Amino acid sequence: MTRVLVTGGAGYLGSTLVPALLERGFGVTVVDNFMYDQDSLSACCYHKAFALVRGDVRSMAVMRPLAALVGAPLCDRDPLAATSTNKQAIVDMLSEISREQRVLLPVTNSGYGVGETGKFCTEETPIRPVSLYGRDKVEVERVLLDRHPSALSFRLATVFGMSPRMRLDLLVNDFTYRACTDRFIVLFESHFKRNFIHVRDVARAFLHGIEHFESMKGEIYNVGLSDANISKRELCDRIAAHVPEFVVHDSDIGKDPDKRDYIVSNEKVERTGYRPAFTLDDGIAELVKGFAMIRNSKYSNV
């Protein structure tokens, strides 16, 4: 049995990916510090191929014994903690694994920062991250491909959709939650664009990368919905089609602290045979149902 190590496996992405890996017959070991007191992997505990380590990925005493497993998906409020987790912990782990091991790394396409109007960002587009998170992820990707040229990196679009460990601070999730609860939103710089992808399609991308690793290794791939390079205002219009009472107000006063504004080409990963299965409207409809259950802010991550 092939074993997969998933760091942060109880989080928003991990808690969707881990069950999918188990269903495909992989043994899965998760490392997570459970900082949000989540129980998002409770449904996996029955599985004999599932193992869990409660610990901090920044501790090599925790990670060194696990480095022999196959590597998998491994802030401004606390920049030291953010960098030590998002960058240094992964860099340290990479120094412990062999060059023969497979590493699939999720980073973010936010590294594109501010793109050129009307021009799609490809994997060759110069990186210009506008946030600490983006800068850390770009550096991890560089170190990974320098040290492990057979690894591969997925630059993920902004993720949306329901997950066992939910997050409300992601743009589609946030705006849909506001539509369902407040019924209104005030937008700053509503013309800013970005790309989106469903959380289950992220899990599918990793399964696709594992299955086609030999033909995909050593490369970077954008992963997003090619028909969802849209502005914040366009996103709100899509949400309003599902929540007719949603009122959207564009404000000329104030600035968006998140300055990302770009459109992304996902053609490279699509050439490998990968296609998303969930549309943006699928995700919005799913979120509207989910938010009938969620009525508090414990999932905000902020």
Mean pLDDT value across residues 44-58: 92
Give the separation between CA 105 and CA 12, rounded to whole angstroms. 15
Residue 82 in this model has a pLDDT that exceeds 70:
no
Per-residue model confidence as pLDDT tens digits over 20-43:
999 999 999 999 989 888 999 999
Mean pLDDT value across residues 100-116: 87
Residue-level pLDDT at 87 = 58
Per-residue pLDDT band at 162 (split at 50, 70, 90): very high
* Segment of 23-32, 74-83, 121-130, 250-259 carrying the highest mean pLDDT: 23-32
Instruction: Give CA 154 to chain center in angstroms.
Output: 9
**Which uninterrupted H or E stretch holds 187?**
strand 184-188
Residue-level pLDDT at 111 = 85
Per-residue model confidence as pLDDT tens digits over 215-243:
999 999 999 999 999 999 999 999 999 99
Residue-level pLDDT at 274 = 98
Pairwise pLDDT comparison (36 vs 64), residue with the higher score: 36
Residue-level pLDDT at 76 = 46
Per-residue pLDDT band at 297 (split at 50, 70, 90): low
Phi, psi angles (nearest 5°) of residue 115: -85, 175
Give the separation between CA 160 and CA 163, rounded to whole angstroms. 9
* Token representation of residue 232: 């914040």
DSSP 98-119: -TTS--EEEEEGGGG-B--TT-
Query: What's the Rg (C-alpha) of the chain?
Result: 19
Pairwise pLDDT comparison (276 vs 115), residue with the higher score: 276
Burial of 276 (0-12, 13-18, 19+ CB in 10 A): buried
Residue-level pLDDT at 74 = 42
pTM: 0.90
Whether 247 contacts 206, CB under 8 Å: no
